[in-house]
Structures are given as structure tokens and as C-alpha cells.
Structure 1
Amino acid sequence: MLLSGHCLIVLERTVLAASPAEGCALLIGRRHAEALWVQRIWPCCNRWEPASERQRHFQLDPREQLLAQRWVRERGLQVLGAAHSHPSSPAVPSLSDRERSLGPTLLLIRSGLTDDPHPLRAWWLPEPAALPGPAPEALPLPLEAPLTGDLGE
């Protein structure tokens, strides 16, 4: 998996801005054989109901998903998966995350814990039928290019 420094900044700002609720976004890019290249972050609203449970759950807004699908088709890209935050737990997919994924899919999770040694982790989730087995191994998160200088943010 490859993630640009700019996408990393947009992703972190998007999911952390929703705190104390879980923030969420779609991951847009290209797939080359086994490699995934995340090129865009599509911020989404967390529409989980009841709203009082949004600190522990998320649901992507279906209208935003449809708009993103149309946008990526027009540009020859793909929705590779989704990202969300865990404001008060590690960046590891919960059983609920794994059960609700429409795999196979890419999942990025950003922990809100200040002492988490791996606050952002990536996961390739298999088909839901592969549950309830153990959680998959985290994927490496190499950046497309090192973060240097001013990104104009």
C-alpha cells in the first residue's frame, strides 16, 4: 500500500476533526496487481444511529458514497476502502468493523490514544465469510514521498 504525505495529512485532519465521535472517509486510488495506491481522501459524515453511539461506531453517509463512486468512475479511479478513527481505542479493527466490511477491502484506522505507538494502521479485510477468525495482520504504511517542506496547508 502506498499513501502520499498529502493524503496522510488530509486523512488525519478529517478523522480527528470528528472527535469525540468516530470520523470517517473513503480511500480513493488505483490498484496495481497486489499494490494499492491511495491518491485521494474523500471525507464523509458519520451517519451512525443513534448519534449517541458515534464514539464507538461509524456508518458512511450513503449519498457521499454514491457521489464518490460517480466521481471515481469519471476519473478512472477506484474506491479502495474506508478509513475511520477509534477515538479511545487502538488502531485495530474491532469485530464490528470486520463484520460490517464489504470485503475484500482496505481499512485504515487512526487511534486517538496519545500513547499508541502505531496510531495509524492499515488492514486488508477479507470477505465477511472469513469471520470470526483472528484479525488480519496490519499492512505496512509507506509514504509515496517523505514529508518535507511546506505543503501549503
Structure 2
Amino acid sequence: MLHVVDSVLHQTFSDLSRVLPEEGVGLWSGHGQDVRTWTFLPNAAEARERRVRFAVHPQDWIDALRGVSERGEVPLALVHSHPTAPAVPSAYDRKNWFTPELWCVIVSFADSTPKWNLYRL
């Protein structure tokens, strides 16, 4: 289980809602199970697929991990949003999950209030 400070959760929801109706993506980092930092990443999926998919460009991922290291933190979770679907991994999410060492966090904007869940994939 992860512990997320309110300011990180608020910033995560804010950044992900800004890219609606497309999926957004980012990284939570911190220490142990304590999430301290949110890093928003551009969705590198093809433009026509961004409403239902996310991808992370390799250089963006390297840059994010470098920032995590420079802060003395460790990556904890890859976070992405589902603009209209529940906060449950899709078949695509499960098949294409590239970070099994990290938590999978999904934020759903299907309702008026964002809801999030975390998974080990």
C-alpha cells in the first residue's frame, strides 16, 4: 500500500484532468511506501489513440528517473488516467505494462470526482 500526501494527490488529479479527454501519465516517487513527488509525463501514444492509451517516450522516462535519483528518491508508481473508464487495468494495460517493479495507479475521471486504485501487474 502507498501513502500519498494530499498535495501530491491534488497535483496528480489536476495535471491528469488538464489533458482530458486524453489519458495522462506520470510517476510517483518517494521513500519506502511514502509518495512525496509527482512527475507529469507527456503521453507519447499516437494522437488518435491517446483517448484510450498512454505511452511514455524513452527519453522522458530516463529524464524522470534522473530527477527522481537527483532528489534522493526512488520510483514507486507509474500513474495513468482513464478518462471515461473505471480505475481498473484494461487488457491493454495488463499486456503492455513495462514496469512490473512499480505499482500501477489508475485514476478514473468517469464520475464527477476522480477515483484511484493501485495494482501490482
Report the residue type matching 2:108 in the other structure. S
SS at match of 2:119: strand
Report the residue type matching 2:82 in the other structure. H
User: Greater CA radius of gyration, 1 or 2?
Assistant: 1
- Asked whether the 8 Å contact 1:82–1:107 carries over to 2, the reply is yes
TM-score for both structures, normalised by structure 2: 0.89
Q: Does 1:85 pair with 2:86?
A: no
Runs of at least 5 residues in structure 1 that lack an aligned partner in the other structure: 126-153
Alignment of 1:3-152 (within 5 A): 3-31=4-32, 36-49=33-46, 51-101=47-97, 102-114=99-111, 119-125=115-121
Could you report, residue by residue, the CA deviation over 1:32-52 in whole angstroms, capped at 9, with x for unpaired residues?
Answer: xxxx21110000100102x11
The whole-number CA distance in structure 2 between the counterparts of 1:59 and 1:74 is 24
Percentage of pairs with the same residue: 29
Report the residue type matching 1:58 in the other structure. F
- Asked whether the 8 Å contact 1:26–1:83 carries over to 2, the reply is yes
The whole-number CA distance in structure 2 between the counterparts of 1:81 and 1:46 is 16
TM-score for both structures, normalised by structure 1: 0.72
- 1:115: how far off? 6.1
The whole-number CA distance in structure 2 between the counterparts of 1:115 and 1:7 is 20
Alignment size in residue pairs: 119
Q: After the TM superposition, which parts of structure 1 deviate over 3 Å for at least 4 consecutive aligned residues?
A: none
Runs of at least 5 residues in structure 2 that lack an aligned partner in the other structure: none
